[in-house]
Amino acid sequence: MLKSYLIVFFISMLPLIELRGAIPVGIGMGLPILPTYLVCVVGNMLPVPFIYLFARKVLIWGYHKPIIGPFCRFCIVKGEKGGRALEAKAGRGLVAALLLFVGIPLPGTGAWTGTLAASILDMKFKDVLIACMGGVLLAGIIMGLASAGLLGALSGLFAV
């Protein structure tokens, strides 16, 4: 059982997959929903301070390197594009917009991208942590409900 939780924990730390993929994997492995949710939230939030503090510096350092340069350029461009779009739409509600950006489980959104965009926008560390934590909690609830089949059952109520 511990091995299963460790697998889910490490999956939730991966960029792009994060807890959006880890919760369905945990449910598929037969793990209870609430402990899986908690393990995934912790795993998804663990990289956030490191991304905020170091990712931008590492990406700028690797921008002109021959092997990792294309990846670093891709990450910087994606982070800047996402950050500027978020800033343009949000205005003063940037923390709430970041929370929703991280929390709505769509491809390309999540704690990794949100934190990178926030670091590029020079948001305050405290605001980034609050927004990412709220977003990860929201995404976890949505994925937990979807994995448990509750969202599918609710859609049946509104089918014509």
The residue extents of the domains of the chain are: 47-158
Angle 106-108-114 (CA atoms, 0-180°, nearest 5)? 100
79-106 per-position pLDDT tens digit: 778 777 777 877 778 899 899 999 998 8
For residues 89 and 126, is the Cβ–Cβ distance under 8 A? no
* Structure-model confidence comparison of residues 145 and 160, the more confident one: 145
User: Within 13 Å, how many C-alpha atoms sit on residue 146's CB side?
Assistant: 15
145-159 per-position pLDDT tens digit: 888 877 665 556 555
What is the amino acid identity at position 71? F
**Range with the poorest average pLDDT among 17-26, 83-92, 104-113, 138-147:** 83-92
Question: Tokens in use for 8?
Answer: 């889910």
Short-list 16, 6, 2, CA closest to 43 = 6
